[in-house]
């Protein structure tokens, strides 16, 4: 019992370090009774994870970089104007002037094409990174969802086993009073009932952990 208390204290200190939760905060036993959502819904909500949105934005920027690099093949036309409040000389009657500049990149095609290929390679990297991240997130969600389904089923099965063990123990208690079973048989049943109850508590903890893993895989807070 003292070793368990020490483990609880260490876990609370770790929780304070990782999540900022005070070590004396009361714990809630909000165990899931089933899958919180359908698998398709969970996959859809996981599509809004920050790292996935960031990778999608990186891909969009890479696509724009390719378009920008290709634009260097086209000529550019610039215009500038100037208005004078006072001029001297033979242009004293002209108050404004305009300049148009046409830049045609005739001898810069090789450099521009190299920049386009470089931008396209970055686009391919961003696209592959996004695809890999999507597959990895989908794998995390599917695995966590299946683990939660099985954990909840296991918890329910152990709940039924605990109920049956308690009923059996009560029946054996009555038979013990009647002298039908011995004291050793009754102690054996008590031990078996406690073992089943311990396994049920472990299954409850596993169900809660799998529920947390699914929410983390969907990108949701706890």
70 within a domain of the structure (yes/no):
yes
Q: How far apart are CA 154 and CA 160, in angstroms?
A: 10
Q: What DSSP character marks residue 75?
A: -
75 within a domain of the structure (yes/no):
yes
How far, rounded to the nearest angstrom, does the alpha carbon of residue 184 sit from its chain's CA centroid? 53
Label residues 178-191 b or e (16+ Cβ within 10 Å = b). eeebeeeebeebee
5 within a domain of the structure (yes/no):
no
Q: How far apart are CA 213 and CA 145, in angstroms?
A: 9
153 within a domain of the structure (yes/no):
yes
116 within a domain of the structure (yes/no):
yes
* The pLDDT of residue 172: 87
Q: How far apart are CA 212 and CA 207, in angstroms?
A: 9
Position 141 pLDDT exceeds 90? yes
Q: How far apart are CA 148 and CA 206, in angstroms?
A: 8
Position 21 pLDDT exceeds 90? no
Orientation of helix 183-217 relative to helix 109-177, angle to 10°: 160
Which residues fall within 8 angstroms of residue 204, CB to CB, at 6 or more apart?
31, 155
Q: How far apart are CA 150 and CA 79, in angstroms?
A: 70
Q: How far apart are CA 155 and CA 157, in angstroms?
A: 5
155 within a domain of the structure (yes/no):
yes
State pLDDT tens for residues 107-125. 877 888 899 999 999 999 9
Q: What is the mean pLDDT of residues 61-78?
A: 91
Q: How far apart are CA 151 and CA 217, in angstroms?
A: 17
State pLDDT tens for residues 142-195. 999 999 999 999 999 999 999 999 999 888 888 888 888 788 888 988 999 999
Q: What is the CA radius of gyration of the chain?
A: 36
For the whole model, what pTM was predicted? 0.69
Give ∠ CA 63-69-71 in degrees, rounded to 5.
105
| Average pLDDT taken over every residue of the chain | 88
Contact 46, 141 (CB under 8 A): yes
Q: What is the mean pLDDT of residues 74-93?
A: 86
Domains of the chain: total = 1
List the CATH number of the domain containing 82. Answer: 1.20.1600.10
Q: Which residue has the tokens 């699914």?
A: 214
Which residue range(s) make up the domain with 171? 36-217
40 within a domain of the structure (yes/no):
yes
Q: How far apart are CA 115 and CA 170, in angstroms?
A: 82
194 within a domain of the structure (yes/no):
yes
Position 33 pLDDT exceeds 80? no
Contacts 24+ apart (CB under 8 A), 192-196: 192/165, 193/162, 193/165, 193/166, 193/168, 193/169, 196/158, 196/161, 196/162, 196/165
């Amino acid at each position: 019992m003292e070793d368990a208390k020490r483990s609880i204290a260490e876990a609370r200190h770790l929780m304070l370090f990782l999540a900022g939760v005070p070590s004396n905060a009361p714990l809630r036993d909000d165990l899931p009774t089933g899958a919180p959502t359908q698998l398709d819904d969970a996959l859809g909500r996981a599509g809004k994870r920050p790292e996935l949105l960031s990778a999608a934005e990186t891909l969009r920027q890479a696509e724009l970089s390719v378009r920008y690099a290709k634009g260097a093949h086209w000529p550019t036309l610039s215009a500038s104007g100037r208005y004078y409040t006072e001029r001297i000389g033979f242009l004293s009657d002209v108050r404004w002037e305009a300049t148009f500049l046409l830049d045609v990149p005739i001898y810069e095609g090789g450099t521009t094409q190299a920049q386009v290929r470089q931008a396209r390679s970055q686009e391919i990297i961003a696209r592959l990174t996004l695809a890999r991240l999507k597959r990895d997130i989908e794998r995390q969600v599917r695995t966590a969802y299946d683990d939660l389904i099985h954990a909840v089923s296991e918890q329910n099965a152990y709940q039924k086993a605990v109920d049956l063990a308690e009923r059996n123990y009560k029946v054996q208690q009555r038979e013990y009073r009647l002298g039908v079973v011995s004291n050793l048989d009754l102690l054996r049943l008590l031990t078996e009932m406690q073992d089943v109850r311990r396994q049920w508590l472990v299954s409850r903890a596993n169900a809660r952990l799998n529920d947390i893993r699914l929410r983390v895989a969907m990108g949701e807070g706890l």
